[in-house]
Amino acid sequence: MKSPVAESEADPSLSVSSSQHRSLGSFCSLFQITTPSSFHSVMTCISVHQAVGEYGMAHFSELGKSKGKDYCIFFNSKWAHLPQDLNKASRLQTYDLTASVLCSASDVPKGGFPNRIAMVLRGNCTFYEKVRLAQINGAKGLLIVSKERLIPPFGNKTQYEEIDIPVALLSYSDLLDITKSFGEKRQVAMYAPSEPVVDYNMVIIFLMAVGTVAVGGYWAGSRDIKKCETVDVTPIMIAVFVVMCCSMLVLLYLFYDHLVYMIIVIFCLASSVGLYSCLWPFVRRVPFGKCRIPENNLPYCHKRPQVRMLLLSALCVAVSITWGVFRNEDQWAWVLQDALGIAFCIYMLKTIRLPTFKACTLLLVVLFIYDVFFVFITPYFTKSGESIMVEVAAGPSGSSTHEKLPMVLKVPRLNFSPLSLCDRPFSLLGFGDILVPGLLVAYCHRFDILMQSSRIYFLACTVGYGVGLLITFVALALMEMGQPALLYLVPCTLLTSLTVALWRRELPLFWTGSGFVVNNTTSPSDPGAIW
């Protein structure tokens, strides 16, 4: 625990952004992380060593009345605990001293704060000095009004033992609303409602993930996919890719504020291409807009594309740009991000082709090790004691941009807790948790078509992916500690596929992908031809 310092000099690492956990150290929120360099997801219970902060509620109402309005507060339970139920919280009259910072005895009004909740401005001295003056002058609690970002009101062990009244931070904008709504004679009750670790939005995350893997894997083996539209992954490419993953992750950790915008731009470009790729097979069946544009020398238009192609391109780019401009609108921007993300994942599953089960195994095992290393091992090397992946996923606490990496599917929590006033927490699933196992699902579907095996490999691997995702969710809820999702997804998908191959006595063909090379030379009329 750091020694007390003036609030104006408080360590910025103590601040907590709204998309992190509501209760650091006592509450866990799902942070499943994926960047172009970190194809994984992880459940993170972040523990801030310098200070522990929790979101709570301050219920203001007119004096003598119970009906009022909730406002978000940020408190530290080490000073004093707050009840979880509003009905069990004491309703006390406030003493508005927000014209003062309460840093010396001269700031204390005559008569003190008998049996009241004092409200003062933040600044000029430590939290301990403020709450000590409030306590010895009869206050039953302290609300510190802050014009800056809310941070945990911290102290040291001795100070925590001395103080027995709650202390919390309240935003200045909320104070203005409180003054307007309730005037001078008002009362407040402070409480900290609890939330379930597992939320119903997990069902939506599960359906989106499994659905994307199933659709992408099925489409990847379709006869509509031509060989020229795919990219075969070799062992050398896998090695280069993993090195790039490690390098980019470390660079993001070191230079997050500079690189995060580059990732946002890349996502906008890639997702618009993915959306076009997914919508074009449907648009080309529309009997309108088949006419071509006139001859011209414009870039990308010299081949005279069809009007409907240009219109679809404009639509996809417009959707991507709309998300880019309004990406921080928590109320609805997540819907666009999910739609673009699903389209991007399906496009990648159609485009990237692992030619053998051997290549699938190599990629998944290497990324399995990479995932575990950057979640469990890197905390021993970082100054903060946090894993590099956790820091990159949540956005470094000292980040000046407060931007989040977009390479995730996100769904807001669906429980209707008062704490939704404090932030809008999301459950996040990284693209890598879809793409990496999804490439194996796509290989299984191609092998099914080759062997005419009624898609048994495809179905088994898809079910294995779903089971692995369920195990991940259960582990997150039960263990309440960092869990790399590939720790569960890789064994479930690999072992399921391997078991089916052994049961059907097709392991040699499945391992080497032997029929695919022969298949490339078959004629289009051959029923076994899939490219």
Residue 423 among the catalytic residues? no
Q: Would you state the pLDDT for residue 227?
A: 63
**Are 256 and 399 spatial neighbours (Cβ–Cβ below 8 Å)?**
yes
Q: Would you state the pLDDT for residue 158?
A: 87
Does residue 321 carry a pLDDT above 90?
yes
Per-residue pLDDT of 43-53, as tens digits, reads: 333 233 334 56
Q: Closest by alpha carbon to 397, among 418, 407, 382? A: 382
Task: Rank 365-374, 394-403, 418-427 by mean pLDDT and report only the highest.
Answer: 365-374
Q: CA-CA distance, 218 to 150, in Å (whole number)?
A: 48
The token duo for 529 is 């031809």
Ranges 344-353, 402-411, 499-508: which has the least confidence: 402-411
Q: Would you state the pLDDT for residue 40?
A: 37
User: Which one from 70, 199, 338, 371 is the annotated catalytic residue?
Assistant: 371
Ranges 31-35, 229-233, 270-274: which has the least confidence: 31-35
Residue with tokens 């469990």: 376
Per-residue pLDDT of 238-256, as tens digits, reads: 999 999 999 999 999 889 9
Does residue 231 carry a pLDDT above 60?
yes
> What band does 223 get if pLDDT is binned at 50, 70 and 90?
low
Mean pLDDT of 463-479: 90
From residue 366, alpha-carbon distances to 244, 297, 352, 362 in Å are 13, 47, 17, 6
Query: Coil, strand, or helix at residue 404?
Result: coil
> What band does 25 get if pLDDT is binned at 50, 70 and 90?
very low
The token duo for 288 is 């309108």
**Are 45 and 21 spatial neighbours (Cβ–Cβ below 8 Å)?**
yes
> What band does 528 get if pLDDT is binned at 50, 70 and 90?
very low
> What band does 403 get if pLDDT is binned at 50, 70 and 90?
confident
Per-residue pLDDT of 260-309, as tens digits, reads: 999 999 999 999 999 999 999 999 888 887 887 777 676 667 677 788 89
**Are 469 and 206 spatial neighbours (Cβ–Cβ below 8 Å)?**
yes
Location of each CATH 3.50.30.30 domain in the chain: 78-191
Higher pLDDT, 444 or 32: 444
Q: Would you state the pLDDT for residue 367?
A: 93
**Type of residue found at 229:** E
Q: CA-CA distance, 439 to 455, in Å (whole number)?
A: 15
Q: CA-CA distance, 467 to 464, in Å (whole number)?
A: 5
Residue 448 among the catalytic residues? no
The token duo for 290 is 């088949």
Q: What's the whole-number average pLDDT of the chain? A: 81
From residue 135, alpha-carbon distances to 36, 103, 107, 138, 245 in Å are 51, 13, 14, 5, 53
Half-sphere exposure in the Cβ direction for 235 (13 Å, CA): 7
Does residue 229 carry a pLDDT above 60?
yes
Give the pairing type, strands 42-44 and 29-31: antiparallel
In CATH, what number does 78-191 get? 3.50.30.30
Mean pLDDT of 189-217: 88
Per-residue pLDDT of 127-152, as tens digits, reads: 999 999 999 999 999 999 998 877 77
Per-residue pLDDT of 10-23, as tens digits, reads: 333 233 333 333 33
